[in-house]
A and B are shown apart, each in its own frame.
Chain A
Amino acid sequence: MSEETAEAVGKMLEIPRVALVVLVGASGSGKSTFAARCFAPTQVLSSDHYRGVVADDENDQTASTDAFEALHHVVGIRLRRGLLTVVDATNVQEHARASLVKLAREHDVLPVAVVLDVPAAECVRRNESRPDRDFGAHVVTRHAAALRRSLPRLQREGFRIVHVLRGAGEVAAAHVRFTRMLNDHRELTGPFDVVGDVHGCRGELETLLTTLGYALRRDDEGRAVGATPPAGRTAVFVGDLVDRGPDTPGVLRLVMGMVAAGEALCVPGNHENKLIRALRGRNVKVSHGLAESLEQLGRETPEFRAEAEAFMDGLVSHLVLDEGRLVVSHAGLKEAYHGRASGRVRSFALYGDTTGETDEYGLPVRYPWAQEYRGRAMVLYGHTPTATPEWVNNTLCLDTGCVFGGALTALRYPEREIVSVPAEREWYAPVRPLAADQEALAGGFALPSPASHGQGAGPRHGDGLELTDVLPDGPVRVLETAHHGRVSVRAENAAAALEVMSRFAIDPRPLLYLPPTMAPCATSTLPDVLEHPAEAFAAYADDGVVDVVCEEKHMGSRAVVLLCRTPEVARRRFGLGGVPDDGTDGGTDGALNGAAAGAVWTRTGRAFLDDALTAALVDRLRAAADAAGLWTAAGAGDDAADWVLLDCEVMPWSAKAVELLRRQYAAVGAAGRAALPAARDVLGSVAARGIDVGDLLARTQARRTDVDAFTAAYRRYCWPTDGLSGLRVAPFQVLAAGLADETAAPPARAFHTRDHLWHLGIADALVAADPGLVAPTRRLVVRTDDATSVAAGVAWWEELTGAGGEGMVVKPVANLVRGPKGIVQPGVKVRGREYLRIIYGPEYTEPANLDRLRRRSLGHKRSLALREYALGLEALERTARGEPLWRVHECVFAVLACESEPVDPRL
């Protein structure tokens, strides 16, 4: 072949999209030119460049060690991020290549060698034309010799693909084509029906496919050879089609037919892997149901056996589907391995992660990778028989032990709907009972431990939280919210929140929400008041919100109340009440060891009341919920809710804040009421002596009045309570409601798009059900574009606050409202003149004080209110989508962290 022809045709080099490409060639062979032509500049890391980076001289050979250290570091970062990376260095020495092969393996990408085999003379000639390359020809000659020696060894060194370009012409003409990884089927977007371990249970598989709406196709002998899916759907098998069960060939025939017809995808299981080796005559131990497969296949034709062997051999160990949102493999896959290719990726996909230990049944102890899984992709897998599928951090094991007499299970994706058919019988006796995992579940202890996770991926509430779920690893942690974009949490605020959350807050499982802070209305310019409703109405009018609802602001303590329909729901969904010592399920009613079938917590996530009082309050409210029809009202369609989350105010203030009242508020009042009359008397006597004390007497008298008003203000919010007697709960918003079954689709709903009148209607129903405990929230709807309506709103506020009320909260009737500049404030508070004495001090109403206090800055508070609101909604929406605990908890934690930001506490 002449050089011209080679150039015209040009070699096509296939390179996987995620790979480490190692260029191999002597100095002067044209590597950099080739790389610049075939790859993006950022993909190419050259040793010359890194010599320059570390030594300011690209040719300083004494800097090579440092240069390669820096280069390898960057290679590692790029590979970790899944980026194709090209190393432009001579790489003619085996040790140089070995370190790169090792790096590729460490990041589970394919090492690819591209050899530029250019005659030494040509290289020398090129170097001579470059003034900066002053090393002699002997160097190039040595390179060329080393390259020659290396050529036959490259495959053995671990390069999975080796391209050799011979001569300058081939180098100049070569092109690169990027190929998709075999596991990369992101273009397939489903919907899918992902089927768990079949293990030769052909009958159950046929039933399941039929249940899923597939139409079986049969051959002349009546054997199922395919199944036409319902419109647009594709089946996906998680492997372990074979062994143990009654008809491995029948299962293979059906699945092979479906895969060939494009009706199904399939990944291999460890049993397929072993069966192939057995079929190839390798020496494998015939156990775990392999004998059955071999015996059944022995009755088939050699052609079928060959076909089956080829089918199983051609399966790719895991699949990345639906734009990367779904990963299917037999034994699960940690995030770092998604879309990667290496021996250990394959091994993980087939066998899972093991600790190297074995349990009391002699089975390998599996490492609970799913509990540490924090990836966004859903991972569906099988391999580990469990009695019921349990979501763990967006992963689901679909092996429900059909062959052991359990069930054959599929998941409809993206609907997250589980479809199961029971086994026709126990086809094979399990080594260890399936129930063992249920015991671990009941134990309530997170993994890993040999006793509890020998077979299971772990109980639901072992979704143990990681410190990295809440603490930033730099100065800030950023959370994505649907309604307010990216929200940052600073390290110091997270540190403070960590201490409060871990030392004082309740269990994170029920703690689905923390209330956001709320900004006051803009500061009024009217004399004598700091806050006035006109400002609130005007602000919403500016935001384009016409209908607002004014809600009476109760002066107590904020409380979030979780109510469960039954104690069983509280235990199952939220792990409340722990588990009876005998490890049983504890029955279905009143068996929570006296614990509440719900929870009540404060703004910072502390238990609002002690255990006994919590249980009593929750029971009263559950009874009210029953009577008010709350479960149905908050349910979805025909499904009544199993649990409901309510935003409430609990009164009196003194119930929770009595220590604060004694230490702070009552103390100030007591001091003022004693000091000021004494001072007034003294000044009165001075004046009586005819000495002019100026305004001092009048000022002292005014202070006396202020202190009395201050005392009256806090007294309104205090009354004695005894147990539940005296306690009032004012619910004003239904935050979320859901089902006990977290695998339901959807498992819960949030209600921030329901208008506030619906929420208040529910509150009214609860009041009607238990007027002694549940306090009503008075409200008035105002149109911000109607002067008469606005005036009525103002008058209503004056009436409320004139009677000693704290004030009111003005909210858009529609609830969540998005304006041109993003979400609008979900509510603003307009506090009464007298109430504010508790906040700004007894004497704040003195004109000189008021004038100074008007200079308050609301910007930070408003921003904080929106961020916390968005985080709270994010927590609720993630709950509604059935997202893992860590995804919910990171939002709740972030609300707490934001609460510790420095903002004027009086706002």
Chain B
Amino acid sequence: MLLTITASANEALSDATDLGYLLHKHPGRAQSFGVASGTAHVVYPDAGPARCTAALVLEVDPVALVRGRPGSGRRRSAPGGDGTLAQYVNDRPYAAGSLLAVALGQVFRTALAGRCDLRPDAAAAPLALEVTVPVVPCRGGADLAERLFAPLGWAVEADPLPLDEEFPEWGDSRYVALRLTGTVRLAEALNHLYVLLPVLDDAKHYWVAADEVDKLVRAGAGWLATHPERGLVTRRYLRRRHAFVRTALQQLAIERLADADDTDVDDVDNAVPVEEVTSAEEMTASENVTAGEGATTEDGTAGEAPDTEPGPLPLAKQRIAAVVDALRTAGASSVLDLGCGEGALLAALLADRSFTRVVGADVSYRALQVAARRLRLDRMPERTRDRLELVQTALTYRDARLAGFDAAVLMEVVEHVDPPRLPALEAAVFGAARPRTVVVTTPNVEWNVRYGLGPGNLRHRDHRFEWTREEFRAWADGVAQRHGYAVTVTGIGQDDEELGRPTQLGVFAR
């Protein structure tokens, strides 16, 4: 991969080849440096008094990149050594992301600090600079490069690269050819690149050093705190550190199943959104950098964004309240939360001592892990802990462990099941587990128009369907009739004369 910096002579830089002094690299030589990911070369394709160009060429060793280097203390991929195929066919040798930034930091360490004993004035003065990076991974579109660099005084050209000229229908790649021109101090320019190249890249699977927070504070000094996108910059920059890496055996196993089917693991292991764990230390650092500014929301989560409607209580909270209410009315004391996900309902159930036995069940191993963490299972008082159990199950199989409960809850679960598999769920829950009460909630698709969703657009990527009120009613009546339950169908959330309520609620009793 490649990055070039061109300085043109101006009042602060009478001889452009002084760029060599500022970078501490001689324009008349080709120099090579061993860096973490391979070898970095600094060469000057052009070195005249009017114009001088330094190029950083990074040769990445693709085989070693995958294997990692023992003792380097840097993990660049999921641990375990095998990983997924994606690692082996990799853009890292070509695309200027975090690996280039690390090399930049290593090779131009002194220049980044702005020190130049031989040309102190030039080091302190804004220079007429031009930076080109032929391939920059830019998650969020070419426009993001403009948003990040323009406020720092750069004129930005970011041209998207097509994925493959032979397949124009595939569209543009996530890469841009980046050209920045501006009058900027060299050290600042280098710091901008050092911080913002990885931010544009936003690669999830590459870990850098453990002291990145300090580095960000240092490299961002003087410009990041006032940057309009500082929230995004900080979040993305730090995300690289605690990037979600699947570690549990079960999750690595799922990665391989995704691989076997040529699918992305994030499309398979997606029962709950990826958590971003942030330590207190990082929070503080992040606040220092961003001066208390709230995070921007350029990349909406895969979660139910539309559900965050204005109103006294978010719909998710209203839903939990309605479900708990239905359970109390039914007089249930042992409750199954089927498809418990991250455990939001479990927390509400545990808060009410009348629920003496609470079982959270989910098919996703990761969901159960997240639920355990969110509920702080390890720190839960014994008396509360004794009321709760988390189990992996699948609602398309009968599970004897689920029999004998007063009530079961299917809160926003049925719509995640393929319609042909619903009879299996019905048999497992209403036939085999057969609690006295079953509480079911599911979206009312009619309401989607209020979220601005067009026909055919569902509220969540994993929803296999969403029902109209009539469709839900028909299913609920059928289930009730087939299994000897009586069902009451109502709704949750704001009532609309025409559309009903956003969430449908069915309470089955026998």
Contacts and interface: CB of A to CB of B under 8 A. Distances in A.
Interface string B476-505: 000001111000000000000000000000
A863 B292 CA distance: 56
B82 A675 contact: no
A604 B257 contact: yes
Interface string B384-400: 00000000111111111
B89 A664 contact: yes
Nearest to B484: A450
Nearest to A889: B397
Contacts of A661: 170
Interface stretch (A23-31, A153-161, A652-660, A776-784): A652-660
Summarize A's interface: helix, strand, loop or mixed: helix
Interface string A878-907: 000000000000000000100111111110
A849 B163 CA distance: 26
A676 interface: yes
A672 B93 contact: yes
A667 interface: yes
Interface in B23-63: 28-30, 41, 43-47, 55, 57, 59, 62-63
B271 interface: yes
A467 B4 contact: no
Interface string A559-600: 000000000000000000010000000000000000000000
A175 interface: no
B80 interface: yes
A401 interface: no
A706 to B, nearest CB: 10
A671 B161 CA distance: 8
Contacts of A669: 163-164
A674 B43 contact: no
Given A507-B421, A668-B90, A692 B30 contact: yes
A503 B427 contact: no
A663 B171 CA distance: 11
A905 B45 contact: no
B340 to A, nearest CB: 14
Contact of A603 (B41, B94, B261): B261
Interface residues of A, number: 104
A506 interface: yes
Contact of A465 (B93, B264, B397): B397
B424 interface: yes
Contacts of A517: 260
A604 B261 CA distance: 6
A473 B268 CA distance: 25
A905 B259 contact: yes
A455 to B, nearest CB: 15
A496 B394 CA distance: 11
B166 interface: yes
A606 B483 contact: no
A329 interface: no
B82, B250, B363, B434: residue with the most chain A Cβ atoms closer than 10 Å: B250
Contacts of A905: 82-85, 88, 256, 259
B415 interface: no
Contacts of A467: 393-394, 397-401
B261 A682 contact: no
B95 interface: yes
A306 interface: no
Interface string A123-157: 00000000000000000000000000000000000
A682 B53 CA distance: 10
A63 interface: no
Interface in B256-304: 256-257, 259-264, 268-269, 271
A86 B135 CA distance: 80
B43 A445 contact: no
A686 B260 contact: no
Interface string B444-457: 00000000000000
A466 B424 CA distance: 11
Contact of A674 (B44, B59, B177): B177
Contacts of A604: 257, 260-261
Contacts of A902: 80, 82, 252-253, 256
Interface string B61-84: 011000000000000000010111
Given A451-B483, A666-B173, A682 B416 contact: no
Contacts of A666: 163-164, 167, 170, 173
A670 B167 contact: no
Summarize B's interface: helix, strand, loop or mixed: mixed
Contacts of A699: 59
A603, A696, A703: residue with the most chain B Cβ atoms closer than 10 Å: A696
B89 A839 contact: yes
Contacts of B430: 449
Given A445-B482, A902-B80, A468 B400 contact: yes
A839 B420 contact: no
A807 to B, nearest CB: 17
Nearest to A684: B45
A304 interface: no
Contacts of A470: 397
Contact of A693 (B30, B171, B420): B30
B175 A446 contact: no
Interface string A437-461: 0000001111111111000000000
B111 interface: no
A134 to B, nearest CB: 44
B12 to A, nearest CB: 25
A446 B84 contact: no
B85, B134, B253, B256: residue with the most chain A Cβ atoms closer than 10 Å: B253
A469 B134 CA distance: 55
Given A663-B264, A682-B43, A691-B28, A671 B91 contact: yes
B8 to A, nearest CB: 17
Interface string A481-507: 000000000001101111111111011
A500 B86 contact: no
B162 interface: yes
Contacts of A710: 89
B174 A667 contact: yes
B85 A906 contact: yes
B2 interface: yes
Contacts of A501: 394
Contacts of B167: 654, 666, 715, 718, 720
Interface in A622-669: 654, 656-669
A683 B42 CA distance: 10
Interface in B218-241: none
Contacts of A506: 418, 420
A415 to B, nearest CB: 32
Contact of A502 (B248, B249, B397): B397
A832 interface: no
Nearest to B64: A852
Contacts of A691: 28-30, 43-44
A466 B170 contact: no
A447 B394 contact: no
Contact of A694 (B30, B88, B174, B428): B30
A190 interface: no
Interface in B155-194: 161-164, 166-167, 169-171, 173-175, 177
A657 B430 CA distance: 38
Interface string A846-890: 000100110000000000000000000000000000000000000
Given A661-B170, A675-B135, A691-B28, 10 more contacts: A445-B427, A495-B365, A658-B170, A669-B163, A675-B96, A696-B41, A700-B57, A711-B164, A839-B88, A900-B260
22 contacts: A446-B432, A448-B434, A449-B431, A451-B482, A464-B427, A465-B397, A465-B424, A466-B399, A664-B89, A670-B173, A671-B94, A678-B135, A679-B2, A689-B46, A691-B30, A694-B30, A696-B30, A696-B41, A700-B57, A715-B164, A899-B256, A905-B88
